[in-house]
Amino acid sequence: MFVSTANGNSVPLNAIADPQLKSTPPEITRYGLRRTVTVVGYNEPGVLASDLNAEVQEKLKSIALPKGYRFSQGGEAEAASRSFSGLGPVVLLAIFGIFGVLVLEFGRFKETAVVAGVIPLGVLGGLIALFLTGNSLSFLALIGFVALVGIEIKNSILLVDFTTQLRKQGMGLREAIEKAGEVRFLPILLTSLTAIGGLMPLALSGSSLYSPLAWVIIGGLVSSTFLSRLVIPAMYLLVIRGEEAEAVEV
């Protein structure tokens, strides 16, 4: 191998250098201007990626790296970290938006509080469904809780709004609550069953990504549909009865 000189002649490379063969990476990958080597692994069917990632992180802590080297998470763990970091403001905005719409619809905070009382019932069912199916509280599971709140609120509105309409027509408080529960329970039940039936294929698919979302909504709908039949009328009775008692005293 010859190298051209400034005057146009050529000299052998070994006359001006000491060439040696050394192994080098065929490709240099950079991430954030840093040289990066990516190690890819896949979890076995039935193993949660979050649990596997936690175990891998514990193993990596025992490895002593030279100065200037470090481990960093990628893939699903990195995506989940980025998603969770921006999820809080979105959830708060959704909650305030829902309460704002309810206040505009009913015009008072008391009915709004009764409607929102169904939210803990669904959250409880969603958490139980995740526990029973062995799924973790992933990013999409939290998205499922947000979607579940919207469905629950809609069912609760059907019950509370119809009760209020009956009272405006002159019906007594207890009678209106009982009548609304009888008339509106079947539409609420059918709506929930339809949603559950549509989500079952997704829940039974075994996808570590989308199954938690489906199970959260299914579990929340099951618990809120049946528990709201008892809790919402009781809350409405307590809130409005107190209001009527104050009106009588005045």
Q: Tell whether 91 and 74 lie within a shared domain.
A: no
Q: What is the pLDDT of residue 246?
A: 47
CATH value at residue 165: 1.20.1640.10
The residues near 166 (Cβ < 8 Å, ≥ 6 apart) are: 175, 176, 179, 180
* Domain termination site, one of 79, 94, 122: 79
- Comparing 56-60, 182-186, 198-202, 207-211, the range with the smallest average pLDDT is 207-211
Q: What is the pLDDT of residue 41?
A: 79
Query: Is 83 within 8 Å of 139 (Cβ atoms)?
Result: yes
- Which domain covers residue 9, as residue numbers? 2-79
Q: Please give the mean pLDDT across all residues of the chain.
A: 80
| Residue (of 246, 244, 104) closest to 177 by Cα position | 244
* Domain termination site, one of 79, 94, 124: 79
List pLDDT tens digits, range 109-142. 777 888 888 888 888 899 999 888 888 777 778 8
Q: What is the pLDDT of residue 247?
A: 44
Q: What is the pLDDT of residue 249?
A: 46
The residues near 126 (Cβ < 8 Å, ≥ 6 apart) are: 141, 144, 145, 148, 215, 216, 217, 219, 220, 223
* Domain termination site, one of 56, 79, 102: 79
- Provide the pLDDT confidence category of residue 40 given band limits of 50, 70 and 90: confident
Q: Tell whether 33 and 138 lie within a shared domain.
A: no
pTM: 0.65
